[in-house]
Structure 1
Amino acid sequence: MPAPWIADDFFLRRTQRQLRPVGAGRSQAAATSDAANESPKIQANHEAAQDEFWHDHYHLESYYVSGRGYDQYRPAYELGWRAALQYPGDFASVVPVLEAQWQRDRGTSLLDWRQVSGAVKAAWERMRHAGPTVGLSHLQLLAMLQALQRLNLQTAKCLRLAVEQAPAGLLQQMLQRHIQAFEAASAELQHEFALPAHDRHGRRLSATLQRGWESVKALMGQPTMPRLMDASEDAERMLLVAYRGALRESLPEATRTVLQRQAMAVQRGIEALHWLRSCLPL
C-alpha cells in the first residue's frame, strides 16, 4: 500500500540528479568505452571505491537477507561493476551472460542468482552513473538532515494513527516502541546537528498526513491486522528509502555514522514487523 504523503522534495531532487548519467548527451557505448580504456591504476581506484561503498551499504539494500555477511555479496557487486565497464548496452541485455558467469565466479558465496541479481544490477547502475564525488554544501546537508528529521516525525505520526485502529496486543505494543524510536531519531537529528524547529511546517505535515491516512482507511475498508501492518511497513519502508538515498551522498564521517545507525534501526523495525506476521494468527 503506497504512502505517498511521506515523500520529500529534497530526496526527489537528489534522486533525479543522481540518475543523470555521466557524459549526458553522449552515447552510453562511448561512455562505457572511455571507462574501460582507463589506465589500470585509475580503474583499480574506481573498483576500490565501489568495494568500500558497498561494504558500508550492502546491509541497507532492499535485497539484503538478514544475517548474510558482505563476503556473500561482494562477488555479486564485483561482477556488476566489472560488467558495467565490459559490456555496452543496458543491463537486461546481458542478464543471461551474467547469470552464467555468476555460477563460475561466485567464489565462496552461498547465494544463488535469484538472491544476488539485485546486487549485481545495483553495482552495474552505480558504476554506469558514477561521476566525480562532490560533497554536499553546508546548506544542502542541512536540507537533507531536516528532510530526514521531518520524515521520522511523519512516520511516527502515521504509526500513531495505526495504533489507534489496532486491537490491544503485541502489534500495538510494537508500534508504540517504533513510534518512540522515530521520535527519538528526529530529536537526535535536531539536537546533534542544531536543526531549526519547523512548527508551522509540522502542522501542515500533520494535516496532510491525516488526510492521507483517512484516504487509506477509506480504500482498505475495515482496518484488519494485516492491513494495518501493511500500512505500517509501507511507512517505515519509505523512511528507509530516504536513509538509503542520504547515505549514497558524500557525507562527513560523523554524519554518516549517525545516519547509518538510524537506518539500521529502521531496517530492524521492518524485520520485527515481518517476525510478528509469522508469530501471530492474522
Structure 2
Amino acid sequence: MQPTLLILAAGMASRYGSLKQIQQFGPSGETIIDYSIYDAIKAGFGKIVFIIRRNFEADFKEIFEPKLKGRIAVDYVFQEMDAFVGDHAVPEDRTKPWGTAHAILCAKNAIKEPFAVINADDFYGTDSFVKMAGFLNNDCKPDVYSVVGYELGKTISEHGSVSRGVCAVDAQQNLTAINERTKVYQDNDQIVYEEADGSKHPLSAETPVSMNFWGFHPSVFDLSQELFNEFLEKNLSNPKAEFFIPIIADQFISRGVGKVKVLPTSAKWFGVTYKEDAPGVQASLSALVDKGEYPDNLWK
C-alpha cells in the first residue's frame, strides 16, 4: 500500500484573507503546495489528504481538483473546533483551532496506512520526499516514527528571526528531544538563538531542525487522542493554548512507546516567514526550474 501525504492547510485562509490570493511562485503560477504534491507523486505517494476548514472547501477544490484529477487520489478532512473533544464543551472565547496535532487527529478516519505530514506553505525539496517515502515503505512501524532533519543553516531567513524545532539526536539517528527555539537568526558570522532574557547561544549551521515534515504509522491516532484528552483537561480554558505535533513526538519518546528516526536531508527548505522572503522563494524556484529539477509547468 502506497503511503499518504497529509497537508496541513487549515490555517491558510486566515493567512491569505481568502484563497483567491493564494501566492503563486512558480513560472506557470504554481503555489508551494503544487511543488510538494509534484515531489510526493514522483516519490511514490498514493494519496493526498488536505486538512482544511469547511468554509473554504469550494475555493480549495476549485484550485486543486483540475490539476490533480487523474494524477493522484485526493481526500479532504475538516479541522472543526468540536472534533474529537469528547464531553468537553468548547469555550466561547476559543477562536483559533486546537493546533497541528489536533489537525492530525482530525484525519483519523481518512488514513489507514503509513503517512507523512507537511505544512501547506513550506517548500521541502525533492530529496526529503524520497527519503520519507523510503522510510514509510520500509521502516515505519507502530513504535517507529520519523521526522526530516534539515540543516539549520539552510532554513534561515535573511529578513528576521525564525522559530525552529531544534533536534537533539543520538548516535543511532534517533530523536532524543526537540526544543522549540522561537528566536533564531544570523548574527554576524554565526547562527544564534536568543532567550527571553536576551541571552544569545550559538548553534552550528549543521544542527538538525524540524520543519514539520513527519512520518507516522496509523497508531499515532490513538496516542494523539489520549494526549489531546490530557491537553484539554489542562488547557481547556486557555484560548491561546495549542496542541502541537512535537508534543506527540516528545511523549512518544519519553513514555517509552517508541522512537522517532531523524532522516537527514541536504535539501534547502524555504518558506515565507516574512513578505520580504517572497522574491527569494520565487528566485529559488526559478533556479531549480533552470537546472531542470522541475518542469516550467508542473501540471501541463
**TM-score range with shorter-chain normalisation?**
under 0.3
- Give the number of the structure whose residues are more often helix, by fraction: 1
- Give the number of the structure whose residues are more often strand, by fraction: 2
TM-score (norm 2): 0.25
TM-score (norm 1): 0.26
Larger Rg: 1
